[in-house]
A = this chain, B = another copy of it.
Amino acid sequence: MFNLEKQGNSVGFVRTEYLDAGDLALECGEKLRNVRIAYETYGTLNAQKTNAVLVFHALTGDSHAAGMHKRNGRKPGWYDLAIGPGKTFDTRKYFVVCANVLGGCKGTTGPSSINPRTKKPYGSDFPLISIRDMVAAHKKLVDHLGVKRLFCIVGGSMGGMEVLQWAVDFPDSFDTAIVLAATAKQYPMGVAFHDMGRKMILADPHWKQGDYYSAGAPRKGLSLARQVSHITYLSHDTLERKFGRNKKERHGSRPPKFGTEFEIQSYFNYQGQKFVRRFDANSYLYITNAVDHFDLTSGGETELCDVFSGLASQQGKKPKFLLVSFTSDWLYPPAHVEELYAGLAEAGVPCVYKKLDLPYGHDAFLVYNNTLGNAMVDFLGRERTRRK
Chain A residues with a Cβ under 8 A of chain B: 124, 128, 185-189, 191-193, 195-196, 198-200, 202-203, 205, 220, 224, 227-228, 231, 234, 236, 239-240, 243-245, 247, 257-258, 262, 264-265, 268, 285, 289, 292, 295, 299-300, 330, 333, 335-336
Cβ 8 A contact of A299, one of B196, B245, B265, B330: B245
Question: Once the chains are docked, how many angstroms separate the CA of A273 from the CA of B124?
Answer: 26
Question: Once the chains are docked, how many angstroms separate the CA of A153 from the CA of B119?
Answer: 68
Task: Judge whether B268 and A231 touch: CB under 8 Å.
Answer: no
Task: Judge whether A245 and B189 touch: CB under 8 Å.
Answer: no
Question: Once the chains are docked, how many angstroms separate the CA of A257 from the CA of B200?
Answer: 15
Known contacts: A203-B220, A264-B188. The answer to whether A289 contacts B195 by CB under 8 A is: no
Closest residue of chain B to A285, judged by CB?
B258
Task: Judge whether A258 and B224 touch: CB under 8 Å.
Answer: no
Task: Judge whether A236 and B187 touch: CB under 8 Å.
Answer: yes
Q: How many copies, total? A: 2
Q: Which residues of B contact A195 (CB under 8 A)?
A: 264-265, 268
Q: Which residues of B contact A262 (CB under 8 A)?
A: 188, 191, 292
Q: Which residues of B contact A244 (CB under 8 A)?
A: 188, 300
- Rounded to whole Å, the gap between the CB of A352 and the closest CB of chain B is 24
Task: Judge whether A268 and B192 touch: CB under 8 Å.
Answer: yes
Q: Which residues of B contact A247 (CB under 8 A)?
A: 299
Indicate the member of A262, A335, A336 with the most B CB atoms within 10 Å. A262
Task: Judge whether A231 and B187 touch: CB under 8 Å.
Answer: no
Closest residue of chain B to A199, judged by CB?
B224
Cβ 8 A contact of A265, one of B192, B203, B265: B192
| Interchain residue pairs with CB less than 8 A apart (9) | A124-B257, A185-B245, A186-B245, A187-B239, A188-B243, A192-B231, A236-B336, A245-B299, A258-B289
- Rounded to whole Å, the gap between the CB of A299 and the closest CB of chain B is 6
Question: Once the chains are docked, how many angstroms separate the CA of A336 from the CA of B236?
Answer: 10
* 11 further contact pairs, Cβ within 8 A, besides A195-B264, A196-B268, A247-B299: A186-B245, A187-B240, A187-B245, A192-B264, A192-B268, A195-B265, A195-B268, A196-B231, A236-B336, A257-B285, A257-B289
